[in-house]
Amino acid sequence: MAKSLDDLIAEGVSGRRVLVRSDLNVPLDGSTVTDDGRVRASLPVLTKLAKAGARVIVMAHLGRPKGTVDPKYSIKPAADKLAELADVPVVVATDVVGEDARAKADALEDGQILVLENVRYDPRETSKDDAERAGFARELAALTGENGAYVNDAFGAVHRKHASVFDIAHELPSYLGDLVKTEVEVLSKVISDPERPFVVVMGGSKVSDKLAVIDNLIGKANSLLIGGGMVFTFLAAQGHAVGSSLLEKDQIDTVKGYLDRAEAAGTEIVLPVDVVYAASFSEDAQHEVRPVSDIEGGAIGDSGLGLDIGPESATIFAEKIAAAKTVFWNGPVGVFEMAPFANGTKAVAEALATSDAMSVIGGGDSASAVRNLGYRDDQFGHISTGGGASLEFIEGKQLPGLVALGA
């Protein structure tokens, strides 16, 4: 059974260097953090350790620099945001396990936080070679000196078999961070013991990204509401024309099977009855609402594409959410970044924000959407910090970072 952060603090951390895997993988506009949700989510554990006297060393990644030093993916903007929000001292290393990192780790004092440069700058972090990853993990562990410890508080990375997530747990006494612990508890309840009706909203662009999740939820969810680009494969499976909308033809037979299975298993799959149909993928494109039975009709004809669920569908989705006791949402139901195609996602967010249900937003684009649309985190039951990780958890997969901790 995994040891918790409270177990570590009870053992005593004053004067000890504690290596923490945090999730600072924030979206950037240049060097500006556009959504600091993950930084804020990382703060409680880092602050808790620092206040207990630990010398905290933070490992995190940002983007996919593919094992090379690329200034575009520097952790510094995220670390600077952490320093701005924290009420304990934060310093930043210019490398990962190099001279600067070692010197700053050695110079740490009780209650201070050091953020290492992007761990993915080192190709060994994501290597498929076990020995290479283990070697990198040993160098990371060496930064803690004598009597070090490791805390995994990066739920957004627990589905990765990476050195700072998986291998490091074999190098140091290891503990489950509070954020990861909460994520596991909430998602476990959603998938194993939801209060019913249990409604799942699935969006995003590709149905192939969500196949395993849908497969695992058939027979568990009472209703599956499907939106986003992935919906057009479902509509095609029902025989509807979809114009130039995003379509994965190779998944149509699979989706037909899901529709049949769901009906037999008592899971209602709810598809849009209308869509916002646009002449092109552009914010200022000519657009109109079309019923799915006549998606190629109207002024735009058969050359356009669907970019949002329509208003009637949004009302149906909102009513299903309002009647639910548990709701899990992953993926926007339209191209919310463009104002004409954000109304469906707004309707889902508003229905969740005003619902009495236990609402869980599965990270990633869904989390960005609700924040960008002006909603506060505390208007929802739980916003996951891990899009891919939360999906794989809901799929029922074993996640390497949790396995390494015995969770």
Look up 388 and say whether it is catalytic: yes
* CA–CA distance, 145 with 337 (Å, rounded to integer): 46
**CA–CA gap between residue 166 and residue 130 (Å, rounded):** 10
Which pair of tokens denotes residue 94?
A: 């210019």
Considering 206, 220, 261, 325, which one is annotated as catalytic? 206
Helix (H/G/I), strand (E/B), else coil: 198: strand
Catalytic residue among 53, 67, 135, 388: 388
Cα gap 133→404, rounded to integer Å: 14
* 50 touches 9 (CB < 8 A): no
Binding-site residues for ATP: 210, 306, 337, 363-366
- Please say if 148 is a catalytic residue: no
Catalytic residue among 203, 204, 243, 364: 364
CA-to-CA distance for 173 and 10, rounded, in angstroms? 14
For every residue of 353-375, DSSP letters joined together read HT--SEEEE-SHHHHHHHHHTT-
From residue 273, how far is each of 218, 223, 237, 245, 334 by CA, in Å? 21, 16, 14, 15, 14
Catalytically annotated residue among 16, 17, 21, 38: 38
Which whole-number Å values give the CA distances from 234 to 61, 208, 211, 269, 401, in the listed order? Answer: 36, 11, 12, 10, 34
Determine the 3-state secondary structure of 65 from DSSP.
Answer: coil
Is 38 assigned a catalytic role?
A: yes
Residues that constitute the known binding site for substrate: 23-25, 38, 61-64, 120, 160
- Quick one: which of 95, 88, 1 has its CA closest to 49? 88
- Whether 359 and 382 have beta carbons less than 8 Å apart is answered as yes
In one-letter notation, the amino acid at residue 256 is: K
Active site (annotated) includes residue 364: yes
How far apart CA 332 and CA 217 sit, in angstroms, is 18
Minimal CA–CA distance to 163: which of 127, 115, 121, 116? 127
The answer to whether the CB of 151 falls within 8 A of the CB of 8 is yes
Residues labelled catalytic? 38, 206, 364, 388
